[in-house]
Amino acid sequence: MEFYFPTETGEQLAFASAALFALLGLFIMFAPGITLRGLGLSGRDGRREGLAGLRLGGGMMTGLGASAVMLAQPMLYLAYGITLGVGLFGLILSILSDHGGARGATWRNFLVIIAVAVLGILPFIYVFGLV
């Protein structure tokens, strides 16, 4: 079985988005402490249990992105885009409710929202034939 690289522009965008998502998931899975510090977060009282949850999320990101890249099916790209869309909704909900509105609207949160929105839009562009 050979590695498939897409030839259409729209599929290349979705492919690049899924590949970047998988690589980001690998980084989160293998370096959760660096990820937490980069996001301005920390563990509570030196407890390490939160790292397992972060590794779980990174593994799920890697699995979803890698399956979309390896199988290259439009329905997988659609599932990947929907997953990021629901995650984006969760980010916005967290900013509005958990942090008390303006206090949650930090530049880091906006960068994450922009990154997730861009990664989530690219598969929809391909699946719905906009490019």
Give residue-wise pLDDT tens across range 87-119: 999 999 988 887 666 666 788 888 999 999 999
Q: Answer whether 105's CB lies under 8 Å from 130's CB.
A: no
pLDDT for 90: 93
DSSP assignment of 2-57, as one string?
Answer: PPP---SHHHHHHHHHHHHHHHHHHHHHH-HHHHHHHTT---STT--HHHHHHHHH
Report CA 54 to chain centroid distance, whole Å: 13
pLDDT in tens, the chain (131 residues): 688 899 999 999 999 999 999 999 999 999 998 988 887 777 666 677 778 889 999 999 999 999 999 999 999 999 999 999 999 999 999 888 876 666 667 888 889 999 999 999 999 999 999 98
pTM above 0.85, yes or no: yes
Q: Please give the structure tokens belonging to residue 43.
A: 């563990």
Q: Where are the domains of the chain?
A: 9-127
